[in-house]
Structure 1
Amino acid sequence: MKKLIILFLISITTYAYEGPVRPVTLTNQKSAKLRVMTYNIHHCNPPSAGNNIEVDAIARVINQEKPDLVALQEVDVNTERSGKGVDQANELARLTGMHYFFSKAIDHQGGDYGVAVLSRFPILESVRYTLPVDPAIGGEIRTIAAITVDVAKGKRIVFASTHLDLKEENRTIQSELIIKHFGDSKLPMILAGDFNALPDSKVIQYFDKTFVRSCQECGFTIPVKNPNRVIDFVMYKSGDAFENVSTRVIDEQYASDHLPVVADLTIK
């Protein structure tokens, strides 16, 4: 087997913001409800708007759903196409009143491009891992951004956003690295993002060994008009830490080329 280049060092190219905190909804002293969103935001460029960048359009979608945690993919920071000096992760955090952590994947047009997380809870820890690419087939560098937060007193979890490669061979080794780093974590974990993989694919079935998808018969997430497949998922570590209440695909056809997914979970 050809040697795979696996890069998993924590990058210094990360950003964090501490904004106002909105408390989680407590159902009782033993459980709390969490609303989680995953959203590929197409660098805040509505597909029907030419080259226009509309960060506020993405923020409106998020604010309408009032999630506690958001996994974002395709985020621009200081790129030419999105405006030099425009940090989309920071701006979305400001417009939604949330904390954020950005994980760079690649250099792009003089700036950074990658994934991010938003959180209504203060971020206690954050980590970025570069996901591997098989040098024999190539591919765009991808990352995973993970944060640790207290969602209620004595209830600490890990929340992560990722965006896997378009090529199945790369998605396979990327999923293996994610499980390697987080599979044995003692903390409950929610993983969300654009997996570029269908529910019956080998990659999603591999994740199913460690994680539970928030829906088994999930609504289609792409394209936004007449969607015909689902590649965006929310999943959580197997065990008794979480229970799924509901999962919805939001019919928002303007702001991005993906439909956002919202999952309501209960953490015990």
Structure 2
Amino acid sequence: MKKQLSIILLLCTSILFSCLAQKKSTGKKADVLKVMSYNVHHCNPPAKPGVIDIDAIAAVINEVKPDIVGLQEIDVKTGRSGKDINQAQELAKKTGMNFFFGKAIDHDGGEYGVALLSKYPVSETQVYHLTSLPEIKGEPRVLITAKLTLPSGRVIRFGNTHLDAERDPANRMAQIKEINAIAEKEVLPFVITGDFNAYPESDIVKEMDVVFTRTCQTCKPTIPADKPSRSIDFIGYGKKHSVMVRGHEVIAAPEASDHLPVAAVLELKAD
């Protein structure tokens, strides 16, 4: 009798562990993605006034091998960069990625703004025109967002921006509050990149930190590219979802733009 009970218990235990192992193997895995933020200075190397070198920017991106890129200071069919050149489209071709461009202003016979590159399918693109206070003569700025579908089938929201550069921080504060409000309404995991024109200790970045977690807390400088001393370029993710930063780095690429790009590897935990 005892022998029969032992056999039954052994069978039950084997079945239990088999079920647990099967459940674990069929469970959702975390998604890992490499995100890059890059102010490209309309593809004009700072040491070469008037020269447009899209290949130099593409080479930096291809070296980093990101899954998603937020680009700031992009020209589309401007006089200074080429009336037949869409820089976002050209960079997409040279990196093998999808793209979306959002115009901030008309400039030099064309358009100027921000863009995204993505290895993943892009949908539901949107351009948000951010506040520019009338008493501050700031350049109009935008936030672009898009839905990106990862290989696992998971969907995230990606945003990219370039905040006002005026000495008075009022525009930047209004703009980051608008971005935070948009992100707080989002139900999908939200990843943001941008040139925030604000230092880590500033009130603007502190406001950003209310809704987003930046991928660096002790952030290495990103400007000027040749002798970096200040950090104003950041990557962040919304606090609503479980995300782990596997790595963050400032890329040593001092010749292609006046900013150094930043990159981070994010692990989005399974729901």
TM-score range for the pair, normalised by the shorter chain length: 0.7 to 0.9
Q: Which residue of 2 aligns with 1:9?
A: none
**AA paired with 1:218?**
C
Matched, 1:178 2:174: no
- Secondary structure of 2:78's counterpart equals coil
- Secondary structure of 1:180's counterpart equals helix
Q: Which residue of 1 aligns with 2:218?
A: 217
Q: Distance in 1 between matches of 2:207 and 2:132?
A: 18
Question: CA RMSD for the aligned pairs?
Answer: 1.1
89-98 or 176-185: which moved more? Answer: 176-185
Q: Which residue of 2 aligns with 1:189?
A: 190
1:125-171 Cα distance to aligned partner (Å, 9 max, x none):
11100111010122100111111011133411011110000131000
CA contact (8 A) 2:46 2:256 kept: yes
How much has 1:176 moved relative to structure 2? Answer: 1.2
Q: Distance in 2 between matches of 1:29 and 1:253?
A: 40
Identity of aligned residues (%): 47
How much has 1:124 moved relative to structure 2? Answer: 2.0
**AA paired with 2:216?**
C
Q: Which residue of 2 aligns with 1:7?
A: none
**AA paired with 1:126?**
T
Q: Distance in 2 between matches of 1:39 and 1:106?
A: 19
Q: Distance in 1 between matches of 2:31 and 2:159?
A: 19
- Unaligned 5+ segments in structure 1 are 1-27
Q: Distance in 1 between matches of 2:104 and 2:185?
A: 25
Q: Which residue of 1 aligns with 2:128?
A: 129
Matched, 1:55 2:54: yes
Q: Distance in 1 between matches of 2:240 and 2:201?
A: 22
Q: Which residue of 2 aligns with 1:14?
A: none
Q: Distance in 1 between matches of 2:117 and 2:40?
A: 13
1:15-54 residue pairs with structure 2 within 5 A?
29-54=28-53
**AA paired with 1:30?**
K
How much has 1:29 moved relative to structure 2? Answer: 4.0
Q: Which residue of 2 aligns with 1:166?
A: 165
Q: Distance in 2 between matches of 1:240 and 1:96?
A: 29
1:104-143 residue pairs with structure 2 within 5 A?
104-143=103-142
Q: Which residue of 1 aligns with 2:66?
A: 67
Q: Which residue of 2 aligns with 1:242?
A: 243
Q: Distance in 2 between matches of 1:66 and 1:222?
A: 22
- Secondary structure of 2:61's counterpart equals helix
Q: Distance in 1 between matches of 2:30 and 2:262?
A: 23
Matched, 1:266 2:249: no
1:74-108 Cα distance to aligned partner (Å, 9 max, x none):
00000000011100000000000000000000111
Q: Where does structure 1 differ by over 4 angstroms across 4 or more consecutive aligned residues?
A: none
CA contact (8 A) 2:220 2:231 kept: yes
The structure whose Rg is larger is: 2
How much has 1:266 moved relative to structure 2? Answer: 0.5
**AA paired with 1:162?**
T
Q: Which residue of 2 aligns with 1:228?
A: 229
* Higher helix content, 1 or 2: 2
- Secondary structure of 2:150's counterpart equals strand
1:227-261 Cα distance to aligned partner (Å, 9 max, x none):
11100000000134311011000010110000000
* Higher strand content, 1 or 2: 1
- Secondary structure of 1:153's counterpart equals coil
- Unaligned 5+ segments in structure 2 are 1-26
Q: Distance in 2 between matches of 1:240 and 1:128?
A: 24
Q: Distance in 1 between matches of 2:151 and 2:267?
A: 12
Q: Which residue of 2 aligns with 1:81?
A: 80
CA contact (8 A) 2:222 2:229 kept: yes
